[in-house]
Amino acid sequence: MKLTIKEIAELAGVSITTVSQILNNKGSRFSEKTRRRVLDIVEEYQYKPDFFASNLINRHSKTIGMIVPDVTDFFFSKVIEGVETYLNPLGYMILLCNSKHSHEQEKRYIDELRHRSVDGILLATPNVMPEEYRFSAEGKKVPMILMDRGINQRDEGKLIVKEYEGAYRAMSHLIAQGHRKIGMLRETTRYYQLTERITAYHHALKDHHIELGTEYVQIGDLSISGGYQAAKKLLAETNDVTAIFCGNDEMAIGAYHAISETGKRIPEDISVVGFDGLEITEYMVPSLTTVRQPSFDIGFYAAKFLVDAIDNPNMKIPNKIFESELIVRESTKGVDSVYKSV
């Protein structure tokens, strides 16, 4: 038997307004006895609110729109997990959209989500978004939190990872092991621009007076196949590379396969370092040295900031800076042993 809020009020002997306020955690002025009577009826009949009906009353749909560049990307799957972990206990549902890195698709999704009356939007984007896409057609602001590495200028709500510091530590680790011929696998222009990681690569080489040709940097998609193709090209164009710094962990997985095809071994012949700290990297053979960034926490705090913006429209949203961490495992080795194995 499915009760209406009116029937719950009649059974409890209270008004519809009282039931509504108790169900929406706004019933602090009511006695514990009244609250308990209402909640016991709700539990007995397993009442679930009609969110579409409550939307008309409270102007909240309890629905969040989330747009990501690639739902199959391991990094974003962890970000989504963090978002769900924060939102689910609060009764929010997520409408997940896959933009496939398309700027036009992002804008279409934003328009569509607003028409569906979502309470707010989480947007992971590699693009600079036009200012008008922060507002609805009626001029009413729709709360939006960006996960964009800070490329969209704003004073609040920035979620920034110390990527440069993590990448520089990774390069310093390789150089301290004696590596001088260090290649890098970076992204194509269709993806997130890994500016901080690339800059750290070049700065570390310069700071240690290491000069390398452009053939030591190869591009590919930020995926396993992209890493495989980029690593194959790197190994074909350089015959002395002893270490590879990969733009992300998925590229590193692809690099493992490309290195194996040449008959070389990791780390005896070539050391490999990734970036992201995906869980799978601990179980690779050999386990991957990588720079961990807190993808789960990024999603968790993005969701928290969005709910805060929904509940308190005039509140200034804080910025959040996340540390990165070099995790040294079995895929890196000193260069002296590299030379001895040749």
Site of tokens 């009020």? 9
Domain limits for position 164:
63-336
| pLDDT interval class at 29 (50, 70, 90) | confident
pLDDT at position 289: 98
- What's the CATH code of the domain at 22? 1.10.260.40
Domain count, the chain: 2
pLDDT at position 137: 36
Question: Do both 71 and 168 map to the same domain?
Answer: yes
Question: Do both 84 and 177 map to the same domain?
Answer: yes
Answer yes or no: is 204 within a domain: yes
Answer yes or no: is 274 within a domain: yes
Question: Do both 161 and 226 map to the same domain?
Answer: yes
| pLDDT interval class at 49 (50, 70, 90) | low
CA-based torsion, 72, 284, 332, 229: positive or negative: negative
Residue 339 has pLDDT above 70, yes or no: no
Q: Residue 245: CB partners within 8 Å, gap ≥ 6?
A: 167, 170, 171, 174, 182, 183, 184, 185, 201, 273, 275
Question: Do both 133 and 207 map to the same domain?
Answer: yes
How high is the mean pLDDT of the chain?
Answer: 88
pTM of the model: 0.79
pLDDT in tens, 142-157: 899 999 888 888 888 9
Question: Do both 201 and 285 map to the same domain?
Answer: yes
Beta bridge partners of 183: 244
Answer yes or no: is 341 within a domain: no
Answer yes or no: is 298 within a domain: yes
Residue 136 has pLDDT above 90, yes or no: no
pLDDT at position 160: 93
Question: Do both 145 and 284 map to the same domain?
Answer: yes
Distance CA 202, CA 332 (A): 20
pLDDT in tens, 254-308: 999 999 999 999 999 999 999 999 999 999 999 999 999 999 999 999 999 999 9
Answer yes or no: is 342 within a domain: no
Question: Do both 125 and 178 map to the same domain?
Answer: yes
Instruction: Give CA separation, 143 vs 87, 135, 201, 256, in Å.
Output: 15, 8, 36, 42
